[in-house]
Chains A and B, each alone.
Chain A
Amino acid sequence: MRGNKSMNIGSKRGAIIINALLLAITIAIFIFPFFWILSNSLKTYDETMQFPPQLLPKTPIFANYKAALDSMPFLLYLKNSIVVVALTLICQFLVIVPAAFAFSLYSFRGKGLLLTLVLFGFMLPQQLTFVPIYLLFGKLKLLNSYSPLVLPFAASSFGIFLLRQYFMGIPTEIIEAGYLDGMNNRQIMMYIMMPMAKSALFSIALVSFITRWNDYFWPLVMTNTQKVRTLPIGIAALRITDGKTEWNVLMAANMLLIVPILAAFSVAHRQIKEALIHSGIK
């Protein structure tokens, strides 16, 4: 072994080069489709149909973004997306904070059963229950309102679990001191627990924003008028199944869907990663 020192260094350098090459290829595979969306959103229609395809447009044009805005009630869909995200965050907040508070501080009959129910809600995919929920909202005459897009997400199991864990980490002495000072439950929650669980609340809000903003399935099955449809539905509908799809316009529309997510990621990438890791391992 010791005699081959020079060969060892050579093969080490080789390994480093191979490693760097593999790394570059891997990064390219994951970044390229996003580059392709951006590049094509700046091309003319003829350029997108050119064979062989060119990586970059000859001169970047921004007309596709205008066309994307005009090709659907974009501002309406955008408004609906924002309203759905905002209402979901508010409802979740109102539901999960007291639930996590009760789970973390009290012992009461039926606690285990209720916790199991929350866990079950966490495991059960909504793709299994959408038909009954659709019929339920139909019966209540609430289809084509914001309710079916918001209410089923209010009792977020992930939110309850994460918040409960934060609350349990708060020393009981602090809470009891609060009670001794004559605070009631609502005040304890507002002035002691919430400020200490700020980062958990932020994590939950981030995860909810990402999943609601991106969601395609739920608004697709729960709505059938433009009035409450969200951006992903509008954008998916821009692709014409039979006929010529204007890929440049479609890619511009998709840029508008990606940018808020990427903006959030660039500002809070650590929190987003951590929140999503927690949404798995709790």
Chain B
Amino acid sequence: MVERIGEKRKHKAQGSGIKNYNPLSPYLMLLPATCGLALFVVYPLVYLFRASFTNRSLLKPTAKFVGLENYIELFHSVEFLSVIKNSILYAFLFVSFSIIFALLFAVWLNRPGRIWSFAQSAIFIPYIVSFVTISLVWLWLMDPQVGLLNTLLGAFGVSYPWLSDTKSVIPSLVLVSVWKYVGYYMLLLIAALQNIPRDIYEAVKIDGARARTVFFRITLPLITPSLFFILVVSTTEALRIFDPINIMTQGGPINASSVFVYFIYEYAFKYFRIGYASAAGVILFLIIGVLVGIYFNMLGKRVHYQ
């Protein structure tokens, strides 16, 4: 992101290079894209806000303005409060573990040689495989009775309830999601590490700095923009999680893994309550917006430019 802003400036002189042209042509060229964004980004968002103040339903053609009723009902619903709790717990664990492991893998595996790039590819592949496949195979691996994981743990005389217990279901889903996404975040960090000029390291080597000092004083500050970027994308990724919930747990056991998008999906398509589901959507939108805003604020203050 930050790099982009830099690049934009660099290219500005070039970007306005064309002189004599029909003043309408750029607008004509942007017409299809603008229509797409208007129809599928702006319109749905406006609709979401407006519908959240109505009792719109899939079963009735008309809707009545109900003010804040949907929001009041949401915050009095035990189910929705546990959805907020589950989503935040899931997001916190997913983001923390993703970043920690991505950083560990990136620093560890960022070296030349076949075996290291093979390891990078192995970690990366789950990212490009469908979450359907990943949910299904892990569902089976995590089966409490016939699953392979408990068979292995059984050899040590222990077992874990995985998806079948209200306390272990979120950590289990986090495990699967981190397993899927960490390779991508690792790759972003490896790209950032490789952008650090070699001579910086050679200079500190001559100065005789210790490895740990080099990491915390040089490497980490220089990859902060990428870490912040990963913070933003992993938070969004975590808050929009749906596939493994729908395939592996259906929000269970007893709502312990029901998260925002699953809740919205259920209320819109199973109970047909568009207004109510939209209010939940607005709350999710605001949460994502506030978090991204906070991150960008931090980014502005903390980033070390090269």
Chain A residues near B (Cβ < 8 Å): 23, 26-27, 29-31, 33-34, 36-37, 49, 51-53, 94-96, 98-99, 101-108, 111, 114, 117-118, 120-121, 123-125, 127-129, 131-136, 151-152, 154-155, 157, 160-161, 165, 168-169, 171-172, 175-176, 179, 185, 210, 213-217, 220-221, 232, 235-236, 239, 241, 247, 250-251, 254, 257-258, 261-262, 265, 269, 272-273, 276-277, 280-282
Task: State whether A217 and B44 are in contact (beta carbons under 8 Å apart), knowing that A36-B148, A272-B128 are contacts in the complex.
Answer: no
User: Do B187 and A176 have beta carbons less than 8 Å apart?
Assistant: no
User: Do A99 and B32 have beta carbons less than 8 Å apart?
Assistant: yes
**Closest chain B residue to A29, Cβ basis:** B179
User: Do A117 and B37 have beta carbons less than 8 Å apart?
Assistant: yes
User: Do B129 and A261 have beta carbons less than 8 Å apart?
Assistant: yes
User: Do B16 and A155 have beta carbons less than 8 Å apart?
Assistant: no
A-chain residues with CB within 8 Å of residue B106 when the two chains form the complex: none
User: Do B187 and A127 have beta carbons less than 8 Å apart?
Assistant: no
User: Do A239 and B136 have beta carbons less than 8 Å apart?
Assistant: yes
Name 8 A/B residue pairs within 8 A (Cβ), A-sorted. Answer: A36-B148, A118-B33, A129-B44, A133-B44, A216-B243, A236-B132, A273-B187, A281-B191
Stretch at the interface among B77-85, B211-219, B264-272: B264-272
Partner of B146, one of A53, A133, A239: A53
A-B contact count (CB 8 A): 251
**A150 CB to closest chain B CB, in angstroms?**
11
**A237 CB to closest chain B CB, in angstroms?**
10
User: Do B27 and A108 have beta carbons less than 8 Å apart?
Assistant: yes
User: Do B40 and A221 have beta carbons less than 8 Å apart?
Assistant: no
A217 to B41, CA, bound (A): 17
Among all A-B residue pairs, the 8 with the closest Cβ atoms: A155-B36, A172-B17, A129-B44, A132-B44, A214-B130, A98-B29, A99-B33, A132-B47
B188, CB-defined interface residue at 8 Å: yes
Q: Which of B102-153 contact A (CB under 8 A)?
A: 105, 115, 118-119, 121-141, 146, 148, 151
B277, CB-defined interface residue at 8 Å: yes
User: Do B240 and A127 have beta carbons less than 8 Å apart?
Assistant: yes
**Closest chain A residue to B40, Cβ basis:** A152
User: Do B16 and A107 have beta carbons less than 8 Å apart?
Assistant: yes
